[in-house]
Structure 1
Amino acid sequence: MQHAGPQGAHGSPETRVQAEGPAAVRVPPQARAADVDRGWGPGASGPTAHRDAGAAAPGDGARGEHTHSEQPMPRPRIEQARPVVQRSSVRGQILDALRTALVGGELAPGEVYSAPVLGDRFGVSATPVREAMQQLALEGAVEVVPNRGFRVVERGARELAELAEIRALIELPVMLRLARTVPAERWTELRPLAEATVRAASTGCRATYADTDRAFHRGVLSLAGNAQLVQIADDLHRRAQWPLMGAKTTPGRAALMADAADHTNLLDALIAKDVQLVQSLTREHVTGAH
């Protein structure tokens, strides 16, 4: 399955999911060109890169991000186009935006991004960006590059296959047990989550679909009553959604629609208590994840 915080072990599963998630954040790779009017490029003379007020706190370089070899990311021409960041939850919003950019391919595998430059893009200091990037590093999405910033991890087809194998080992036995024990009305309650994935897939936006896809899986697995299971499965699912190294394109609308259709088909099989069909659909859906 196309595979964000785990749902509790008890209580009703999520029944509302916004089909339209946040717009994918445009985060171009750190430029390697010569200096432009706002910064310095490789080989240019100058003590440090130019920074806007508030873009980075003093000492950023000492924390591992030197910016004299990269030019600042361009600001949107129209001020209203910049993502709106509420100061009460800056780190969380930046983390969400970076995850969206990662899934959507805006943060390219192998590229290095510094907190001050990304902070300038979002109109915040480097601190919340660095904290969000450190969280992504814990999740395995990026790795720290001393004196430069964070590099997006390059993943190959083998890693994706390994993730699919682990997901199948975890989710398939749970799905079979739930298929035998959960009453049909509980599965019917998950219909809005499945429908939300279809609406999201119809937009053709991979980042939008990714959120609804994971929400559906969390809703299903939450019926097992094991919060740790939901958390581990969701983490594996998120990692399976990251783009592959060297991928020229991301799955289009047709591929997303096919993946979303698996959700409705799976619900139908669960409602009918067709255990054999549930087994085949789950295995194919997880191992054939995009």
Structure 2
Amino acid sequence: MAGEFDLIRQFFTRSAPTVLVGVGDDCAVFDVPAGAQLATSTDLLLEGRHFFSDVDPFKLGHKALAVNLSDLGAMGAKPIGCLLGLGLPNFNAPWLERFSAGFHELAAKHGCPLIGGDTTRSEQGIVISVTVFGSVSPPFLTRGSAHEGDDIWVSGALGAADVALALLMKAQQGETLSGPEQGLLQKTRAWLEMPVPRVELGLALRNLAYAVIDISDGLLQDLNHILQASNKGALLYVSQIPVNPAIAGLDQAQKLKSVLGGGDVYELCFTAPVSAREKIRTVGDELGISLSMIGSVTTGHGLKVLDEDLIEIRDLPSGFDHFR
């Protein structure tokens, strides 16, 4: 019977020219470019909490790394390596083949080789922990750097991942999805299970943006992290917030909830001076990423959202909170 070290050798050992000592030793050793500092982030994914048990393991491998690369993108850091901790109920070779393929494919795309980690048997389903390392130089893109008068931008389009999650949860609870709901799930599911980390955008924003965050828990909640850290307020315009075309047919209330409060997006929300508008638009064109200006940073505290008639929306959706 294959054991832990066979699992590591077969599915998670890859060579990488930038890694001096990698998988298979007590510690990994890797270089950080001269003059740069090390940026690091970690995320934990639990079966039944962060992903459904029947998810395609290739997509799960992709997402496990993508959500961490998204954090590096928000810091304007260049990926240089990652660690993987994996708790499994059993040795499932076909599952491991698919999971590792999805993980390694995204790692190769962003130059972020797997350099170490740990595996163990889990009694409570699949547990995944990923830690990423990146190189970054000042000025750092932090949450606390927004300035009064800054434009507020967001990349991509919002809402599809939240709709897919709601539909999957409905099915998980034993309810039968209608034909239109099944069609909607097909159109939105990839946005939930295969997010695109905006690493290249984060690098391109290093000398243009002030404060940056990735949208993991909802646009309003994550933007509020920027505002609180920067001691600022903000004004957002619903008419300017990009809605994913996959959910365009939903009623306005449903769209508003998913766009403003829905998590698992992994797009970047950032503030930048008015003088940077044209350069930011050029960055979006060069990278092929839609960038939308959705509001502005104000003095004081609090976040106001105006509807299409410029009337303030009072009943705003909340974002995701693990303990709420």
| TM-score calculated relative to the size of structure 2 | 0.28
Q: Give the strand-richer structure, 1 or 2.
A: 2
Q: Give the helix-richer structure, 1 or 2.
A: 1
* Structure with more relative contact order (C-alpha pairs < 8 Å, separation 6 or more): 1
| TM-score calculated relative to the size of structure 1 | 0.31
